[in-house]
Structure 1
Amino acid sequence: IRNDARINWICKANKKHRELRGLTSAGRKSRGLGHGHRYSLATGGSRRTCWKRRQQLSLR
């Protein structure tokens, strides 16, 4: 793969563990991204909001 000019983009440093960072198409859908400029206003539209929501303790 490293020697093939068409697909050696996979070996770049910024492509490592895209699935863990939510950068794949499925990950972006689960984060609520890619549905227009106002769709990001929904709850959990950013990585920070998603993290904060998971850290909060819900007592009800």
Structure 2
Amino acid sequence: MKVTIQFQTPQDFTRFRSLVSGQVTTVNIADLSITCACTPDLIAHAMNDFGGMVTREWPEEGV
């Protein structure tokens, strides 16, 4: 699932970015947001442990 997740602190942004480095599509440092092809459990981890908020869900390619 491709989503954009925004974080509240640079520390949370950096820690989650290092956790999903192989799945990151784009990074916006100014907005503290990461677009990644993450599994649902990683998305839940971003929200529960890093205070992330899903700001956009991207449609599946080819749909």
Does the alignment reach a TM-score above 0.5?
no
More strand by share: 2
Query: Which one has the largest radius of gyration?
Result: 1
- State the TM-score, normalized to the length of structure 2: 0.21
Query: Greater RCO between the two (CA within 8 Å, min separation 6)?
Result: 2
- State the TM-score, normalized to the length of structure 1: 0.21
